[in-house]
Amino acid sequence: MKNEYFVIMSIFIIVFIVFEVRKSHLSIKESFYWVMGSIAVLILSLFPKIIDKVAKFFGVDYPPSIFFVFVILFLLYLLFRLNKIQALHSEEIRDLIQQIAILKEKVNRKNR
């Protein structure tokens, strides 16, 4: 019975992401990672023995711990991507501010 909740939750998340993309609140590029994560949860909830096989392959005695390791790595990757995007946007904003300041100075010189 527990797995049905995870199936419903992952389907709900996928539908939510699709609606957010349709409303233009989330880009398709960024939604890709969330959809892939939701599909992974869906697959794991439909076939729970997969995590046992993966844990056995990596030599982990407690299978849920390997799941948490993968989730943490996934979230760290997303965090790194967002920080990289933020740094790029900060540079672009700084460049735009400088261009605006130059243009304002040119306008002020012409008005004198």
Assign 1 a pLDDT band (cuts: 50, 70, 90): low
pLDDT at 91: 96
Name the pTM for this structure: 0.72
pLDDT at residue number 18: 87
Band (pLDDT 50/70/90 cuts) for residue 44 is: confident
Determine contact, residues 51/65, Cβ cutoff 8 Å: no
pLDDT, tens digit, 9 for 90 and up, residues 7-20: 888 899 889 988 88
DSSP, residue by residue, the chain: -HHHHHHHHHHHHHHHHHHHHHTTSS-HHHHHHHHHHHHHHHHHHH-THHHHHHHHHHT-SSHHHHHHHHHHHHHHHHHHHHHHHHHHHHHHHHHHHHHHHHHHHHHHHHH-
pLDDT of residue 45: 86
Asked if the model's pLDDT at residue 48 lies above 80, the reply is yes
